[in-house]
């Protein structure tokens, strides 16, 4: 059973469109991270959110941590082909040292 | 180097053979993680090292898997008697603080 579920699993959109990726769990996390991974490479950290209700913006990307610290969303405005990749969320529990990774969302932005 | 490096980048082995995967973390990073990623899926935690503390081995899938780390430097992940279901990309990450992991490019393991 996956601790963090992401939706959608696959997303193919046209350049310029907006999109939202969701990361949901029934568990509470002390922090949550979003990564982007390109083929043949390791994931690269985009953002860490630590406070319930927190919203962080990174250029065209907006990240939100749910009030109850169980879920998060990533919104991309005016998607570009360079945004193509696998987006992963990862939650850190209050107990233990593990990061639990989500199932991933594969995004393709068509020029 | 500036980032986490892993070797080999690709490894093809026959079922039943042992393999060793290597990770060189970023200098000064006290924490080191190993993950497994099956094709098109998220990351599966395997093991975590923090300084000289006992490693967290809770993610290792079987006793065929083991890992070592010397101090705060190189780590090796060993898989004994490989099986086809071990085929995956094995990723290593290092960090100074838990919340900022830097990943290597991974080792793609194929068991035939």
Tens-digit pLDDT profile for residues B57-110: 989 999 999 999 987 789 999 999 999 999 999 999 998 866 688 999 999 999
CA distances from A38 to A25, A52, A54, B106 (A): 25, 29, 27, 12
Residues of chain B found within 8 Å of residue A33, distances taken between Cβ atoms: 99, 101
Per-residue tokens: A78: 């005016």
| Chain mean pLDDT for chain B | 92
A22-34: average pLDDT: 93
> Does B106 contact A42 at a Cβ distance shorter than 8 Å?
yes
- Chain B CB within 8 Å of residue A106 CB: yes
pLDDT band at A100 (very low <50, low <70, confident <90, very high): confident
Q: How far is A83 from chain B (nearest CA, A)?
A: 17
- Chain A CB within 8 Å of residue B34 CB: no
* Selection from B29, B57, B27 nearest residue B45 by Cα: B57
pLDDT for residue A1 is more than 70: no
> Does A104 contact B40 at a Cβ distance shorter than 8 Å?
yes
* Greater model confidence, B2 or B112: B112
Q: Measured between CB atoms, which of B40, B43, B99 is closest to A31?
A: B99
Alpha-carbon dihedral angle through residues B16, B104, A11, B42, given to the nearest 10 degrees? 50
């Amino acid at each position: 059973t996956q601790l963090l579920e992401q939706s959608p699993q696959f997303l193919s959109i046209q350049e310029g469109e907006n999109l939202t990726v969701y990361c949901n769990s029934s568990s509470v996390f002390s922090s949550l991270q979003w990564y982007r991974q390109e083929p043949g490479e390791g994931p690269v950290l985009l953002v860490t959110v630590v406070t319930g209700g927190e919203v962080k913006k990174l250029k065209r990307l907006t990240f939100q941590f749910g009030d109850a610290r169980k879920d998060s969303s990533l919104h991309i405005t005016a998607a570009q082909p360079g945004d193509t990749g696998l987006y992963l969320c990862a939650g850190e529990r209050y107990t233990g040292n593990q990061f639990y990774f989500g199932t991933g969302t594969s995004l393709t932005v068509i020029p | 180097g500036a980032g986490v490096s892993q070797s080999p980048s690709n490894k093809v082995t026959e079922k039943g053979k042992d393999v060793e995967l290597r990770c060189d973390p970023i200098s000064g990073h006290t924490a080191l993680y190993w993950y497994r990623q099956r094709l098109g899926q998220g990351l599966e935690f395997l093991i975590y090292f923090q300084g000289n503390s006992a490693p967290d081995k809770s993610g290792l899938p079987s006793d065929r898997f083991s890992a070592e780390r010397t101090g705060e430097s190189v780590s090796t992940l060993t898989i004994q008697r490989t099986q086809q279901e071990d085929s995956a990309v094995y990723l290593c990450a290092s960090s100074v603080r838990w919340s900022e992991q830097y990943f290597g490019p991974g080792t793609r393991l194929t068991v035939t």
